[in-house]
Amino acid sequence: MTYRANIYLQRPGSFRGQPCGEKEIATYPSRAARISFEHRGKLETGHIELIAPEDWEKIGTTPTVLVVQDDDQPAPSPPSFASLAPKQS
């Protein structure tokens, strides 16, 4: 059985989740559950830190979840200072 959830993904070192949209997941959406989902052609994995509303199934709505990516997952690399420097001719 699959479930649908509105997912926000928080990468390591970030303080807020980035919206990923409504996704299908194989795991029942509950706090601390480990889930995987596809986003932009890539498999993302983490655990559910927050879920709203908590009684989503009882009231028959799609939950919104904050998935915190583990530190062992590769995070996007920030731009280097060299790429920000003005080009010299």
- Looking at every residue in the chain, the average pLDDT score rounds to 84
Please state the rounded mean pLDDT for residues 40-45: 93
3 by Cβ neighbours in 10 Å (0-12 / 13-18 / 19+) ranks as: middle
Residue at 82 is within a domain: no
Residue 44, pLDDT above cutoff 90: yes
pLDDT of residue 59: 95
- Domain-located, residue 42: yes
Q: What is the CATH number of the domain that holds 59?
A: 2.30.30
Whether 68 is covered by a domain: the verdict is yes
Range of the domain at 48: 3-73
Confidence of residue 83 (pLDDT cuts 50, 70, 90): very low
Residue 57 domain-assigned? yes
Q: Does 78 reside within a domain?
A: no
Judge whether 21 lies within some domain: yes
Residue 85: inside a domain, yes or no? no
Higher-confidence residue of 15 and 20: namely 20
Assigned domain for 80 exists = no
- Count of domains for the chain: 1
Q: Are strands 3-10 and 42-52 parallel, antiparallel or unpaired?
A: unpaired
